[in-house]
Amino acid sequence: MVANPNLRRFLQMYSQSRLSNVETRGYDELTYVPTKLDEALMPMIKEGQYSLFMITGNAGDGKTAFIQRLEQEMREELEKRGEKFQKETKSGSQFSYK
């Protein structure tokens, strides 16, 4: 019998999976689909047009993934300038940008 080498990962990609639900949350480069948030809101945040923004929505709408993607892009830009995040935790980061 030939086993799919991705089977374990596939079985973790849905809510209430017995193996794990880690794959159902957050940014995954392989499955992320850019949205209007990426196209419109992300540039405005990066340009400093907002000092605060809030994202609301249903479970699975991609809120966490968007924030993690924004965080990744900000981290990359800071590192290019030789700067680092001030504080990193499992649930997020704190940093100064521009």
* Burial of 23: CB neighbours in 10 Å, binned 0-12, 13-18, 19+: middle
CB–CB of 24/65 below 8 Å?
no
Residue 61: predicted pLDDT: 83
CB–CB of 11/24 below 8 Å?
no
Residue 90: predicted pLDDT: 66
Residue 91: predicted pLDDT: 66
Ranges of residues in the chain whose predicted pLDDT is under 70: 12-25, 90-91, 97-98
Residue 97: predicted pLDDT: 67
